Amino acid sequence: MSHNQFQFIGNLTRDVEVKHSDSGNSRAIFDLAVNRVWRNASGEKQEQADFFRIKAFNVLAENAGKYLGKGSKVFVQGRIEPTKFEKDGKTEYSIDFIAEGIEYLDTKPPKGK
């Protein structure tokens, strides 16, 4: 059995950026800050933010671009996709987080909308 899925609850660190291809498809990119909270060995509360770049496509991308601005709180679930590309003659590897669902928990309108 295999499983490839992520689930994040966090806040957008900037407005969603939507781009359209010549074929009519849409792609949205947004950055999500996800807080981690734990207690250290002394029992003191510790907190750290992790940042993830999320990609969404087509209808999901269009709706995110319309309704989600910096500071919006969302629940995002989707799949993790490894990528490989050439940069300066070297092979680089990266991880993409592809949204398959976005639940709007507390929205802030994008600037200019």
pLDDT tens for each residue of 43-97: 999 999 999 999 999 999 999 999 999 999 999 999 999 999 999 999 999 999 9
Q: What is the pTM of this model?
A: 0.86
CB–CB of 35/47 below 8 Å?
yes
**Residue positions counted in the chain:** 113
**Over pLDDT 90: what percentage of the chain?**
94
pLDDT of amino acid 113 = 62
Give backbone dihedrals phi and psi of 111, rounded to 5 degrees, phi first: -60, 140
